Amino acid sequence: MSRPKWINWALAAGAGALALTLLLPTSNRPEPKPSALPDSAHEEHTNKQRLKVQDIKATDLLTRMDAKQHLSIMLEKTATMNAAQVSRYVNDLQSSHEHIRSIHLMNTNGSFNKPFDHASTQGSKLEQQKLQHALNLAKKAANKRQSFESSSFPLGKEKYFVMGQPSKDGKRAVIALFSQNVLNSVEQHQRKNLRMIPYPREGKFKIESVHPDTLNEITVKTGHDNANASHFYENEIVIRFRQDPGERDMRIIKSDLRAQSARKLGYTYVFRSEHMSYKQLHSYFESKWNPLYMEPHYMYLTNDTATEQTDVTIPNDILFSDYQWNLPAIETNRGWNITKGNKDVIVAVVDTGVDMNHPDLKGKLLEGYNVVEPGSQPMDDVGHGTHVAGIIGAIVNNNEGVAGMSWYNKVLPVKVLDNSGSGTTYAVAEGIIWAADHGAKVINMSLGNYADAQFLHDAIKYAFDRDIVLIAATGNDNTERPGYPAAYPEVFAVSATDPDMSKASYSNYGDYVDVMAPGSSIASTYPNNQYAALSGTSMASPHVAALAGLIRSLNPDLTNTEVMDLMRQSVIDLGDPGHDKYFGYGQIDVYKALQAASGNSAPLQFWPQHVRQQMDNTMKKYTQ
């Protein structure tokens, strides 16, 4: 006797629920520390100051280990070279590594070859004496076949250190002077990245600070005030008309505004007036043109702060074991046993650009695009984008620097932020659309603002509708206020954890947060062939972008929503069980996520929507 249909449906639903339950994260996880509530302005500044000092110290260690490697390789490569070949080798090295200021090759009998000085060093008489003293100590150590490393010392406006390294046979040695200007760069970068200072009025336009909800002007006196501030160009406005204006209409508008030109992206225009403020522009367009929406031209800033056993891949990158705590913490090494990525799955970095010549990114970067200066390479003049790109795709197992999360995925640099680390809504939107039109399967956006800009949201929707996974950092003000683009429903929002899997003290939080990822003192690539440790949700976001790239490499049939759902469900659950506003669903687990994504078909929990997607694709083939 056959069962009623409703019984069959009930049994199927029960089986589906059971299968889904088995795929959800288990609760036998380490208990995280309690979530940090909003700090006072003084506490927040103190915490960020401590973190900035920690990043500078970590960067100091990275530069020293990298320097030691360069000296060892130099001794090995120059062992059989003649004088002319040595000169060419050293000149090439110094031209691509500006921080190596002078190199002294010597025999252990005490005789120096002529030093190779890349740039003159300036300093007081006392500072020059300290330099000479350090060189003498290094020479004495070399004669004893010992290595040497000085403490940092000032020389003019920069800090330096001296390092000496003997060859393996003890017959030769090299002594070099290294600039640590990167420490100043990290210090300045993190003051902005962690919002320790009010955003300065940089660039060629006046920048106003407003409350993102009311647009009432506010005074930003401290970094703490940034949590309730959004910045925009006071004499510009973003307009989307109900119907595109014709040539006559545009002439009228330009005449009224005294504007020479207007910028258009998609359906949206940006107008700049020579004599009208934003309020006046808003009143003008509202009364005369009745647009679909009007909003300020916002600025976006960097958001830089299991029982089964498998073999764990330990790459030979020299900074990995000692400094890259972040990759083992999210089970990246175990995940590499499932996939190491695919060159056809492109991850776009919409940011400050990338150092296109960095040796640890060689072969991993596509040509990219420069929105700030079209026609120029998307070169990084800040450091932020290079650091983000290295987290995703620094070359693995090349015995140099750091290891990225993906061995093979290509990185597409899109420069939308200028040398102040900021960019306009127009630039960010253009960068997103350009990346969507040029093959990106994943877009990382380690930038944000507290204002909900419909202009930017249109660009986000454009990319999302093209099946792209959009990842964004939440921000570094330890506030619950939603930051954009992270808080848009089409975007996967990422906050930051510390090494002990607690919420990083600076990290924003809220109901819109999807997951957490490591964000504190993350070692990665930095401009001019260097390495640095930076903190911020900007550093957390590319971990998730890289994971999305790995998932799409392993299972290209998954849609963007399926990839995002899979990452939410394949986590280390932190805080309250399930989703909570401090940890989202939890910290990403690369191995678990790739396990769930493995196979030739969609994971079981995505079967209904996956089948619908496959049917839609089939229908399109026969209806086009």
Tens digit of each residue's pLDDT (9 = 90 or more) over 557-592 = 999 999 999 999 999 999 888 999 999 999 999 999
% of the chain exceeding 70 in pLDDT: 77
Res 115 pLDDT > 70: no
pLDDT in tens, 249-305: 888 998 888 876 688 877 788 888 878 888 888 899 999 998 988 888 766 656 654
CA angle 322, 592, 19 (to 5 degrees): 165
CB 574 within 8 A of CB 586: yes
Residue of 165 and 421 predicted with greater confidence: 165
Q: How confident is the model at residue 618 (pLDDT cuts 50, 70, 90)?
A: very low
What pLDDT is stored for residue 309 in this prediction?
42
What pLDDT is stored for residue 518 in this prediction?
97
In 17-140, which ranges are E strands? Answer: 100-107, 116-117
Res 82 pLDDT > 60: yes
pLDDT in tens, 217-262: 444 444 444 444 455 667 788 889 988 888 888 889 988 888 766 8
What pLDDT is stored for residue 231 in this prediction?
58
Residue of 600 and 365 predicted with greater confidence: 365
Range 274-278, long-range pairs (CB < 8 A, 24+ positions): 274/235, 276/235, 277/234, 277/235, 278/208, 278/232, 278/233, 278/234, 278/235, 278/236, 278/237
* Residue 538 is among the residues annotated as catalytic for this protein: yes
Res 214 pLDDT > 90: no
Output phi, psi for 131, to 5 deg.
-60, -45
pLDDT in tens, 31-72: 444 444 555 666 777 777 888 888 888 898 889 999 998 898
Q: How confident is the model at residue 187 (pLDDT cuts 50, 70, 90)?
A: confident
In 19-131, which ranges are E strands? Answer: 100-107, 116-117
CB 598 within 8 A of CB 51: no
* Residue 185 is among the residues annotated as catalytic for this protein: no
Q: What is the mean pLDDT of residues 132-154?
A: 90
What pLDDT is stored for residue 258 in this prediction?
83
Res 485 pLDDT > 60: yes
* Residue 351 is among the residues annotated as catalytic for this protein: yes
What pLDDT is stored for residue 232 in this prediction?
61
Q: 97, 231, 282, 384: which is the annotated catalytic residue?
A: 384
**Rounded (10°) angle between helices 278-288 and 247-257:** 140
Cα 253 to Cα 205, 264, 270, 288, distances in angstroms: 21, 14, 12, 10
What pLDDT is stored for residue 198 in this prediction?
52
What pLDDT is stored for residue 334 in this prediction?
92
Res 24 pLDDT > 50: no
> Which amino acid type is present at position 65?
M
Neighbours of 447 (CB within 10 A): 33
Greatest mean pLDDT range, 189-193, 232-236, 534-538: 534-538
Residues 6+ apart with CB under 8 A from 514: 492, 493, 494, 564, 567, 568, 584, 585
Q: What is Dmax (Cα atoms) for the chain?
A: 102
Q: 60, 66, 304, 351: which is the annotated catalytic residue?
A: 351
Q: 209, 538, 541, 570: which is the annotated catalytic residue?
A: 538
Q: What is the mean pLDDT of residues 113-129?
A: 71
3-state secondary structure at position 89: helix
What pLDDT is stored for residue 466 in this prediction?
97
Interatomic CA distance for residues 533 and 525, integer angstroms: 9
Q: Supply the mean pLDDT for the chain.
A: 81
